Amino acid sequence: MIKPVIRLDGVHKNFSYWSERPTSIKTMLVEAAKGRFRLGFKRKFTVLEDISFEIASGEFVGIMGRNGAGKSTVLKLVCGIYEPSSGKVEVNAKIAPLIELGAGFNEELSGYENIFLNAAILGFGRRATLDAVQDIISFSELGEMINMPVKNYSSGMRIRLGFSIATHLTAPVLLVDEVLAVGDAGFQEKCLKKIQQLHSEGRTIVLVTHDAEAVRRFCKRCIVLEKNKKVFDGSPAQGSELYLQVVKTGEA
């Protein structure tokens, strides 16, 4: 039996935060003098609840859901940035994630130097990066600005470079979060066509997006999250329609 490249089995993810903590040292001292000193209360909130799905090699899957539904948390679990509170996450292939703007960039280094740094973080050696570097620069359309420090880049320039790096290395799985929304319309279309090309070459694509049209146009499957649970897993047409219904009415 062929293993899926990504598998989530009964995954829960919780975060904790402090509530009613003193806002200053002065407040702490005043409360202590009154015999009411306390650090506050630690509270827990659930981001994902009992999420299960598998993604096979070569699939193109869109993940949709309103803000706060848990979409980005799913990708961070798959990348290993987060650990599940319970349940199991399995990844059986090298992944190129594009899930945070400029993640892995060193602000003081040039765009060119950051290509090698980011590629190394993704697990690619210098030889493989050298083979791809000119294509990365060309696709990013940064021109001479590739030699500028990244700290001087606009958000659009960062996403151009980050996307170019992630898509021109040979990882079999590409994870793409909403960061594409940062670029201009022409570059967004260029990115979507590049993603479609990678899929036609056999890559596995996971696309987190609010764009129902992109899901219908490119994806072969759609997963919808609502209120931290999976409420749909099936055809892109039905999934995107359900998402639009949730946005409009608040109910799945």
Task: Write the pLDDT tens digit of every residue in 169-189.
Answer: 888 999 988 766 656 778 888
Lowest-confidence region among 31-40, 210-219, 227-236: 31-40
Backbone angles phi, psi at 132, to 5 degrees: -105, -10
Model pLDDT for residues 41-78, shown as the tens digit of each residue:
667 889 999 999 999 999 999 999 999 899 989 999 99
- Whether pLDDT at 238 is above 60: yes
Model pLDDT for residues 117-137, shown as the tens digit of each residue:
988 888 888 999 999 999 999
- What the block records as the tokens of 228 is 């931290």
196: number of Cβ within 10 Å: 14
Residue 64 CA to its chain's centroid (Å) = 12
Domain-wise residue ranges, the chain: 57-249
Interhelix angle 155-168/185-200, rounded to 10 degrees, is 10
C-alpha–C-alpha distance, residues 16 and 140, integer Å = 39
- Whether pLDDT at 40 is above 60: no
DSSP 22: -
SS3 assignment, position 157: helix
28: number of Cβ within 10 Å: 15
Class of the CATH domain delimited by 57-249: alpha beta
Percent of the chain with pLDDT over 70: 85
C-alpha–C-alpha distance, residues 140 and 137, integer Å = 5
Mean pLDDT of 190-212: 91
Interhelix angle 126-140/155-168, rounded to 10 degrees, is 130
Do residues 104 and 118 lie in contact, with contact meaning Cβ atoms separated by under 8 Å?
yes
Model pLDDT for residues 86-112, shown as the tens digit of each residue:
999 999 998 888 877 666 799 999 999
- What the block records as the tokens of 84 is 């599940």
Instruction: Give the model's confidence band at 21: pLDDT under 50 very low, under 70 low, under 90 confident, else very high.
Output: low
Mean pLDDT of 188-203: 90
Which residues are registered as beta bridge partners of 18?
A: 42
The helix (run of H) or strand (run of E) holding residue 213 is helix 212-218
